[in-house]
Chains A and B, each alone.
Chain A
Amino acid sequence: DIQMTQSPSTLSASVGDRVTITCRASQSLSGWLAWYQQKPGKAPKLLIYKASTLESGVPSRFSGSASGTEFTLTISSLQPDDFATYYCQQYMSYWTFGQGTKVEIK
């Protein structure tokens, strides 16, 4: 089974900050990695797929990158609507989610 290790678990930031969340896979994913945003009481929302492709309608301040088995979600300038929990997910072999990163107001 492919394991996903996501960090940090919590991140305190201010509006306008640049925010980076990292996910490491236990084996090669060939880029089959997605990022989701989840707000309390709501279903997850797809932000990025294939490691770096922005889903339609998602603001361009969100971006994704990959280096080997390490993947990064970056929010270039944090907005009030971005305070939420973020999950990475591999879909190379079945589906495994990272533990989640809660982005909270500093």
Chain B
Amino acid sequence: EVQLVQTGGGLVQPGGSLRLSCAASGFSISSNYMTWVRQAPGKGLEWVSVIYSGGSTYYADSVKDRFAISRDNSRNTLYLQMHSLRAEDMGVYYCARGGTGKGLDYWGQGSLVTVSS
């Protein structure tokens, strides 16, 4: 059974850093593309970052140069390192698996990020 279990998140001051983790089971994260999607309070979904099976990474303009996506194949875990956090980065962050030709077919449970002094 495919599962994505997220850890990390929490309260951080503006300008601070935080790392989110997404532990996968039931498949190998290096075989699929993996993404992070976020949702500001009461708002819609916004794609944040992707890492492809070959290792290429891409970011939304809103987080470029501040966020870094990575993975540890030996731990089958996806990460999102976030720096220089701003109030507008607040929300729930989801990791999601890219299904072949399917869009995002499995999602983590979400991690809440609060940016406040």
Contacts and interface: CB of A to CB of B under 8 A. Distances in A.
Contact of B103 (A38, A49, A98): A49
A50 B50 CA distance: 20
A49 B45 contact: no
Contacts of A91: 98, 103
Nearest to A89: B103
Contacts, number: 61
What does DSSP make chain B's interface, helix, strand, loop or mixed? strand
Interface stretch (B10-18, B72-80, B106-114): B106-114
Interface in B1-55: 35, 37, 44-47, 50
Contacts of B65: none
Interface of B: 35, 37, 44-47, 50, 58, 60, 94, 96, 98-99, 101-105, 107-110
Given A50-B101, A89-B45, A91-B103, 12 more contacts: A34-B104, A36-B45, A36-B104, A43-B110, A44-B37, A49-B101, A91-B98, A94-B50, A97-B46, A97-B47, A99-B44, A100-B44
